[in-house]
């Protein structure tokens, strides 16, 4: 399985710092390839979100560079993968917690990462960045860890009511600023000609699923040049619709 991938981030129209950190890699080992992508969105309402997001990203990228090749060679055991990722997350949570305590601040970040290898995808997720699978339609693979999402699931509010909820931006957990974390893991079959999208929440507040599909279905994204161009287009679309947040997106197509 081969991959086409692009990543793009934009500070947006109103923030003074881009607190998103993103990265996508293709790791090759023994003629086998794996795609690893990660989006970390620093908490804007706390301080030094960019410190938190970059720190977590770097640690995961170091894992991808050093340990992932071994897993590719030997085959991936999902339980082992979960263990390794959980370790990184807990360590980062502690590190950021201590860093923050020493400075008298609180800092945190979301974390959403996707590994695609040998016809399967594996993901880890904390917060409200998202992973989508775009095949025949747009399927959200992750659940937001937000107060509002929890209320919708519990039946306290409807999706319609959630649109006006001022608590929209409140996360239930993030890496660095939560006393305890439970990362969510996903996995499934990754077929060819499928587009996977990772994005921070700034990318998808004002864009509909239809628009995503129209612009990002696998027929549309024939090469990396087009992928970059489509990603740019959608980011500009967000900005024209007055999206306030940092805007980031990663596109990976399996071929």
Partner 1 sequence: MALESRFTYENQGTISFLVYNLKDEDVVDTITSGMLLNNKIEGLIPYAYSQVDTKRYFKYNITSKVTLKNYFSGSVTKRRLVGVLLSIASAILDGEDYLINVESFVFDSEFIYVDVSNYSACLVCLPISDRKSDIASMKEFAKNIMYSVQFDQSEDCDYVAQIINFLNNSATFSIAEFKRLLENIMVSDSGNKSNISNTMNLAQQKSIEVPNVMPEAPSSPIPEELKQKPVNPVSRVETSEGQKKPRKPLIDKKIMPMPKVQPNAQKATSNLGFEIPGMTPTPIKENTQEKHENQKEKKGNFFSSIFTKKEKSSGVVERKQGSVEKNIINKPIEATNKASNRPNEVVNNQLNINPLPKKEEVYPDLIPIEENIFEKTTVLTSQATSSDQANKVQNNVYTYPYLILKKTQEKIEINKEVFKLGQEPKYVDYLCTNPAVSRSHADIISRNNEYFIRDNNSTNGTFVNKTRITSNQEIKIKHEDEIVLANEVFEFRIY
- Where does this chain bind partner 1 (CB under 8 A)? 11, 13-17, 41, 43-48, 50-51, 54-55, 58-59, 95, 99, 103-106, 108, 110, 128, 145, 147, 150-151, 154-158, 161, 165-167, 169-174, 177-180, 182, 201, 244-245
Give the nearer residue to partner 1 in terms of CB position, either 13 or 220.
13
Give the nearer residue to partner 1 in terms of CB position, either 53 or 117.
53
Least gap, CB of 99 to partner 1 (angstroms): 7
Least gap, CB of 41 to partner 1 (angstroms): 7
Give the nearer residue to partner 1 in terms of CB position, either 149 or 209.
149
CA distance linking residue 176 with residue 74, whole number of Å:
32
Give the CA distances from residue 207 to residues 20, 85, 214, 242, in Å, rounded to whole numbers and listed in that order.
19, 31, 11, 11
Give the nearer residue to partner 1 in terms of CB position, either 46 or 113.
46
**Token pair for residue 25?**
């890699």
Burial label, 120 (beta-carbon count in 10 A; 0-12, 13-18, 19+): middle
Least gap, CB of 105 to partner 1 (angstroms): 4
Least gap, CB of 22 to partner 1 (angstroms): 16
Least gap, CB of 71 to partner 1 (angstroms): 22
**Token pair for residue 62?**
């170091």
Give the nearer residue to partner 1 in terms of CB position, either 86 or 169.
169
Give the CA distances from residue 66 to residues 44, 61, 74, 252, 255, in Å, rounded to whole numbers and listed in that order.
31, 9, 14, 21, 25
CB 216 within 8 A of CB 197: yes
């Amino acid at each position: 399985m081969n991959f086409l991938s692009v990543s793009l981030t934009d500070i947006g129209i109103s923030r003074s710092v881009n607190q998103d950190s993103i990265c996508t890699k293709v790791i090759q080992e023994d003629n086998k390839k794996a795609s690893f992508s990660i989006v970390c969105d620093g908490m804007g309402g706390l301080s030094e979100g960019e410190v938190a997001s970059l720190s977590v990203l770097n640690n995961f990228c170091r894992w991808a560079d050093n340990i992932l090749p071994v897993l590719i060679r030997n085959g991936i055991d999902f339980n082992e993968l979960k263990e390794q990722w959980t370790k990184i997350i807990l360590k980062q949570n502690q590190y950021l917690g201590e860093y923050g305590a020493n400075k008298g601040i609180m800092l945190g970040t979301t974390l959403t990462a996707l590994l695609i290898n040998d016809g399967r995808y594996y993901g880890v997720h904390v917060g409200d960045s998202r992973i989508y699978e775009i095949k025949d339609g747009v399927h959200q693979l992750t659940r937001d860890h937000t107060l509002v999402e929890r209320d919708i699931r519990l039946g306290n509010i409807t999706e319609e009511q959630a649109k006006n909820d001022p608590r929209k931006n409140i996360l239930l957990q993030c890496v660095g600023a939560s006393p305890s974390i439970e990362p969510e893991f996903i996995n499934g079959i990754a077929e060819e000609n499928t587009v996977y999208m990772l994005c921070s929440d700034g990318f998808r507040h004002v864009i509909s699923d239809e628009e995503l599909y129209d612009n990002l279905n696998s027929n549309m994204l024939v090469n990396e040049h087009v992928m970059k161009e489509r990603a740019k287009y959608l980011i500009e679309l967000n900005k024209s619709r007055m999206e306030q947040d940092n805007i980031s997106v990663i596109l990976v197509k399996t071929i």
